[in-house]
Chain A
Amino acid sequence: MSVVEVETGEPTDLDLAQQSAAGDVSAFETLYRRHFRRVYLLCLRMLGNPAEAEDLTQETFTHLYNKIGSFRGDSAFTTWLHRLTVNQVLMHFRRRKSRPEFTTFDGETPIQIVRGTENPGKMPIVDRLVLEDAISKLPPGYRSIFVLHDVEGHEHGEIARMLGISEGTSKSQLHKARLKIRNLIREQAALN
């Protein structure tokens, strides 16, 4: 136990995971309440849809309950759960046969650049709502990589491993995702 845990008396995630694995449902409920928000937000970002995000949050915790005994504390629980959540979302994409198009070659889907020169100062304010809206309109493949890299802060190497793609594909898809978001924001602003 770390000093902080001794001071607060809070059980660690590892404690709770071990108790859950031994059949202690209230320990699992504590884990659920501790991590619910983070899992839901990740699902929401990757799926772009609150109803689907609720379903996937439910599925993720159900899966977690069955797998909890395999958490050995080698990594932080949050990291482990994060990966488990990403895998659940990817399986969901596969099930609904909308597997993100990670394998798209560069040049197959060229992103048309919206020129901003006419109004170089007029990029609309990129606030939270504007960006959330643009992310939700991305194709799933672009959205997954943008969320994992730019929102969640993963490196391309990690993303490549999680998604089963090359680092180069992760980089090129991220670039396309950013350009696409830029276009969506500028197009939306032009309509207003």
Chain B
Amino acid sequence: MDCADIIQLLSDYHDGALDEMLAGPVRTHLVLCLECGVIFNDLTLIVTQAVVLREGQGIALPDENVIWQRIGIIRRAPSRP
């Protein structure tokens, strides 16, 4: 397998979705080939950081009151005591 073949497999390799017939050659290639090793490290960084995004820290949220108003569900009159 050449570098192009290996690069095609890097996501599946990262995600543990390759059987050993393919994972073995990828593993060996990544040790020997600096270029593919760099690409694999980059993908790993991206996937690791993506998990952190899930919590959405630091994202400015819109005013939920405004969007609630826009949804425009008519409130029933408050019940009297």
Contacts and interface: CB of A to CB of B under 8 A. Distances in A.
A126 B35 contact: no
Contacts of A123: 38, 41-42, 45
B51 interface: yes
B22 interface: no
Interface residues of B, number: 41
B11 A178 contact: yes
Contact of B45 (A25, A44, A126, A135): A126
B67 A131 contact: no
Interface string B47-81: 11111111011111110100110111111100000
A120 B34 contact: yes
Interface in B1-57: 7-8, 10-12, 17, 34-35, 37-39, 41-43, 45-54, 56-57
Residues of B contacting A: mostly:
helix
Contact of B53 (A62, A131, A171): A131
B52 A128 contact: yes
Nearest to B69: A58
Interface residues on A, range: 35 or more
Given A58-B71, A152-B54, A113 B7 contact: yes
B47 to A, nearest CB: 5
Interface of B: 7-8, 10-12, 17, 34-35, 37-39, 41-43, 45-54, 56-62, 64, 67-68, 70-76
3 smallest beta-carbon distances between A and B, as pairs: A175-B11, A150-B50, A116-B38
